[in-house]
Every structure is written in structure tokens, then in C-alpha cells.
Structure 1
């Protein structure tokens, strides 16, 4: 049996605790908080014309980003959602009005295979936990870390804004060399930038 490193063990513990707090939020609170997140995001996020924004369709007890995504589209953003290609890779497929949604892995849905693949300039990043320094704990598969690294190799340095509920904050995320800190975190309390 494979043993996790102490950092991985701690991340796993923090992830499970934060997700437990998120799962405990009542649905009515999650809906209200998601609407507040959309309002704060639309008021605070500046976009260049034609910006490509990656978001995510909510699974389990996640923030519902759809009100924010559709508001950003009204401002001229092109939207895309992640699709899991294999055990290592996610790509971002364009989300257009009226297109069918298909199963894209990990319990998520997204645009079909024929949708154009886009390189996001702003990524609204899902996460399990975050700290005051802008470090995040994902769901443990590393898809976003690899996707961000892949974009950077291509010369695309997307702005990274984590989206979560306040209850997902932890004191300190143990960071590793490959971790890329977030520019900001968007919660029901507003948009907080990290230095």
C-alpha cells in the first residue's frame, strides 16, 4: 500500500474537512451565496474585450458559477469549460448558447467534442480549500496544476481567481514547488486579492 508524504496527508485532511463544511451548507444558503458571488464578481472583475474565461459547471456542493459566467458573457467574454481528456489532461472547450452539454468526466458536464478548444486568459478555479496567502487545495487529481503549467509553456499566463465559500478557508495550505498561487479569491464576502 502506497503511503502519502506528510504534505499530501495534511492536504488530504484539510481537503476533507473543508469539503465537509461546504457539504453542510444548506442548499438555500448555497443559492444565495452563489448569487452574491456573481454580484461581487461582476462588480470587481475587469475584462479585456474578447477575454476568454474558463469556469466550471457546479458538481456536488460547489458554488454555482452560472450566474457569474452568464453575466461575464453579457460583457463580451468568451466562455469555456474544462473537459477531462485523459488521466493527466483537461482542455477548455468553448461554451456557446444553445449547444448540447455532454458528460466531460469527474461528474461534470460541458460542451461537446466538436466545440473549439480555447486557452483561457482568466480562469475561475474550483477548489476544496484556500488560505489567506492565495494557496489552494484542489480535489487531488492535479488537473488544474497541469493545465496552468501547460498554458504557461504556451506563453499564456492566465489570471487565476479561486471561487469558493468562506467556510472553505483554512489557516495554512502546505504549498509545494509546483503550486501556483491564486491572484484572488471570490467568495460570498467579496473578491480578495493576494499580494
Structure 2
């Protein structure tokens, strides 16, 4: 089996495991993530942090984002443009959210486009080394590469449930490791 097929198999298995978590359990686990992650990492007031709104069976990190905002973070959300490119639009109180494709919602085209310094990254699978498997479209890989090309060095924090951990992710040269992972069990750095 080649790496692409192995990653696809791991992605499908870990997403199926996540899907099997009852909605009430996902809610409880998401609140635990807010407790564990709300003060787990340092940043200066005004730091731009990209979060996300949950789709499918993802963790709901809105309580975590509220805690980060209360600590002075400037929040943004990923918006997929032209089916290939993620831009990060500023999320401010009272802004109307619009449909942004892929079942997601976010700030509309009038919102400021920002370069996040910290990315809270949804994923399909991860391992104890910080390697991750995304959803297969490469959106975050390309967004991270663009930020690096601009001279930015964003901190990558994966967001997942414990059931999404695997023994080893088969890493490829273009893959960028996470610096940390936040699950319902806690915050781990790599």
C-alpha cells in the first residue's frame, strides 16, 4: 500500500471513530478542551489566532475561542476560496456569518483578511510526534506554505478527539508537523 492509500485508510478509520462519538459526548469533550486549552499556551494581546466553526463531527471550539478572545486574542476563521485557497477573515463580535462552502460559515468578503500567528487546526488523525492527516484536500498545507513564504512562522495546534490518535502517521516531505495537540485529555506539546 502506498503512502497516499495508507493515509486515506487512516483518515477514513479515524473519522469513522469520531463520527461514532455521540453528540452529547462531543459537547462534553469540547468543553473539556476549552478548560485544558484556554490557558495552556502563551500569547501576547493582539495575537491573531485562527479557529474554526465545527462541521460534521468536529470538536466545537467556540468556547475555547471565547476564552482566547477574553485573553486578548484577535480571532479569525478560515474561508475556502476558489475551492483551493484558504484565507483567514477576521471574526469580530456582531459580524454576520455567511455560507462559505464545504458546509462552513464565516465572516463575509468585507471582513479583514489576516495572517494568523497561531492556527487551531482541525484534522482527521495525528500521532505522538505531531504528524497529522488532514481531510485530504491540502487546504491547510497550502495555507501554511503561503504563510511561510510570507516570512511568517505560525504555531500549529491540532484539535482532535483522543480517538483520532494513531500509532504513526506516514509523513511526506511537504507535511508540516504540529507544535501541539489539544484533545479532551489535555494539551500536549511536541
TM-score, normalised to structure 1, is 0.96
What's 1:136 paired with?
132
What's 2:19 paired with?
23
Runs of 4+ in 1 over 4 A off after TM superposition: none
What's 2:75 paired with?
79
**Count of equivalent residues:** 190
Instruction: Say whether residues 1:11 and 2:11 are aligned partners.
Output: no
| Correspondence 1:15-164 to 2 at 5 A | 15-164=11-160
Q: Deviations over 1:21-70 (max 9, x none)?
A: 00000111101100000010012121112100001100010000100001
Structure 1: unaligned runs, 5 residues or longer: none
Distance 1:91 1:32 in 2: 30
SS in structure 1 at match of 2:58: coil
Structure 2: unaligned runs, 5 residues or longer: none
Distance 1:163 1:123 in 2: 10
Distance 1:46 1:32 in 2: 25
What's 2:177 paired with?
181
SS in structure 2 at match of 1:132: coil
TM-score, normalised to structure 2, is 0.98
